[in-house]
């Protein structure tokens, strides 16, 4: 076990040393278990990312005291310093335990806010009549109401931090729709940050798929859509794709090859673009769902790399 732990730490430190130096490090020591946790931001924080007090909230979920998975809300300032932290309870209350040296108040009870999801082109509201996402990690209800017709169903994530409720058209099989809700709830629960604008695109994606049981590939696509990730590649991978594409992707059409090439080229020249930014740059007549499908396949074949924000444990007092 000791050798395994040392090997893991060496590999982790090697990974961190190889991370692009332009990234910003977010580091903190958990007040409950003492673990030193680190995450490298994929992009610069902009003024609009910060709240009125100059902080952005991010979430870290890790094995804490007693190996219990515990979500921790972190207040991060514009210089990427963690100014405050507190654990999120499954109930609606949060800890009021004071943190020495910090002037950020921790409320006894936080009122859940409400944010309407923007209805965008492509979402007609015919299959999905309404949606509500109760997000305890971000203390927000995200919602969109189109019609009160149909039937309601809901799903709650593993740690009961996310509940997704929908009103669905009556002719859609409940067991199929329920599977989609389970995927959405579990995916959102694992997000360090949630780009709420992508919830609009999620509804467009789901509208054409919710009638059928989700396949494993579609689960991956939902995770990509909500990942807040960046996709990158390089000239060597692009050359390899061009030389071997007929063997690697024998069933693709000429149009798919051409579109995939545009995606990879963009990932070579713009190393810090989100999925949506790449799509907006390369799209022609393709839908976002078609784009996600190609990205998933390119990632599977290691032609592109999807970088996501995630925390790593640098040190753990329990293993010393």
Distances 302 to 128, 235, 236, 297 between C-alpha atoms, Å? 35, 13, 12, 9
Determine, yes or no, domain membership for 310.
Answer: no
Nearest to 201, CA basis, from 276, 142, 306, 307: 276
- Is there a single domain that holds both residue 193 and residue 132? yes
Q: Tokens at residue 113, please?
A: 């806010």
In 64-108, the DSSP E strands lie at: 69-77, 82-87
Contact 148, 167 (CB under 8 A): yes
Q: What pLDDT shows up at residue 236?
A: 94
Residue where a domain stops, chosen among 199, 225, 251: 225
Residue 302, Cβ density class (10 Å: 0-12 exposed, 13-18 middle, ≥19 buried):
exposed
- Is there a single domain that holds both residue 187 and residue 243? no
Determine, yes or no, domain membership for 314.
Answer: no
- Is there a single domain that holds both residue 87 and residue 136? no
Q: What pLDDT shows up at residue 178?
A: 96
DSSP state of 44: -
- Is there a single domain that holds both residue 210 and residue 140? yes
- Is there a single domain that holds both residue 254 and residue 217? no
- Is there a single domain that holds both residue 53 and residue 120? no
Q: Tokens at residue 298, please?
A: 């390119």
Q: What pLDDT shows up at residue 162?
A: 95
Range of the domain at 159: 113-225
- Is there a single domain that holds both residue 100 and residue 119? no
Determine, yes or no, domain membership for 140.
Answer: yes
| Number of domains present in the structure of the chain | 3
Determine, yes or no, domain membership for 250.
Answer: yes
- Is there a single domain that holds both residue 210 and residue 258? no
Determine, yes or no, domain membership for 196.
Answer: yes
Q: What pLDDT shows up at residue 57?
A: 86
- Is there a single domain that holds both residue 6 and residue 48? yes
Residue where a domain stops, chosen among 204, 225, 246: 225
Determine, yes or no, domain membership for 318.
Answer: no
Q: Tokens at residue 8, please?
A: 């893991």
Full pLDDT tens readout for the chain, 320 residues? 333 333 333 343 333 334 444 578 899 999 999 999 998 876 665 555 666 677 888 899 999 988 888 999 999 888 889 999 988 875 443 433 433 333 444 434 456 789 999 999 889 898 999 999 999 998 899 999 998 889 999 999 998 999 999 999 999 999 999 999 999 999 999 998 898 999 999 999 999 899 999 999 999 999 999 987 888 899 999 999 999 988 999 999 999 999 999 999 999 987 567 888 899 999 888 899 999 999 999 999 999 988 888 888 988 887 76
Distance of CA 30 to the CA centre of its chain: 22
Encode pLDDT of 47-65 as tens digits. 556 666 778 888 999 999 8
- Please give the Cα distance from 5 to 44 (Å, whole number): 33
- Is there a single domain that holds both residue 118 and residue 99? no
- Is there a single domain that holds both residue 183 and residue 243? no
Helices in the chain by DSSP H: which ranges? 2-18, 174-189, 198-207, 216-225, 235-248, 254-269, 275-282, 288-300
- Is there a single domain that holds both residue 117 and residue 218? yes
Determine, yes or no, domain membership for 101.
Answer: yes
- Please give the Cα distance from 127 to 67 (Å, whole number): 41
- Please give the Cα distance from 181 to 175 (Å, whole number): 10
**Its pTM surpasses 0.85:** no
Determine, yes or no, domain membership for 246.
Answer: yes
Q: Collect all residues with Cβ–Cβ distance below 8 Å to 204 and sequence separation of at least 6.
A: 120, 122, 123, 287, 288, 289
Residue where a domain stops, chosen among 201, 225, 249: 225
């Amino acid at each position: 076990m000791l050798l395994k732990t040392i090997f893991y730490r060496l590999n982790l430190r090697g990974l961190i040393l190889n991370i692009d130096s332009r990234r910003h490090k977010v580091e903190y020591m958990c007040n409950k278990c003492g673990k030193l946790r680190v995450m490298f931001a994929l992009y610069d924080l902009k003024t609009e990312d910060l709240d009125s007090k100059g902080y952005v909230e991010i979430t870290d979920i890790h094995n804490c005291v007693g190996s219990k998975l515990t979500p921790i809300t972190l207040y991060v300032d514009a210089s990427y310093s963690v100014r405050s932290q507190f654990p999120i309870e499954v109930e609606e209350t949060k800890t009021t335990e004071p943190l020495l040296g910090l002037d950020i108040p921790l409320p006894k009870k936080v009122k859940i806010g409400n944010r309407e999801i923007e209805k965008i082109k492509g979402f007609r509201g015919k299959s999905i009549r309404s949606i509500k996402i109760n997000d305890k990690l971000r203390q927000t209800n995200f919602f969109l109401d189109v019609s009160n017709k149909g039937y309601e169903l809901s799903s709650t994530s593993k740690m009961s931090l996310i509940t997704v409720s929908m009103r669905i058209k009556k002719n859609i099989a409940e067991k199929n729709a329920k599977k989609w809700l389970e995927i959405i709830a579990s995916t959102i629960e694992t997000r360090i940050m949630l780009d709420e604008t992508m919830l609009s695109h999620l509804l467009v994606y789901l509208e054409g798929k919710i009638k059928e049981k989700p396949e494993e590939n579609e689960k991956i696509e939902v995770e990509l859509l909500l990942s807040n990730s960046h996709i990158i590649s390089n000239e060597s991978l692009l050359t390899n794709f061009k030389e071997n594409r007929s063997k690697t992707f024998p069933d693709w059409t000429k149009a798919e090859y051409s579109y995939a090439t545009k995606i990879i080229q963009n990932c070579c020249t713009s190393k810090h673009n989100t999925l949506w930014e790449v799509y907006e740059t390369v799209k022609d007549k393709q839908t976002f769902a078609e784009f996600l499908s190609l990205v998933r396949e390119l990632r599977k074949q290691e032609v592109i790399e999807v970088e996501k924000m995630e925390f790593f444990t640098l040190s753990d007092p329990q293993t010393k």
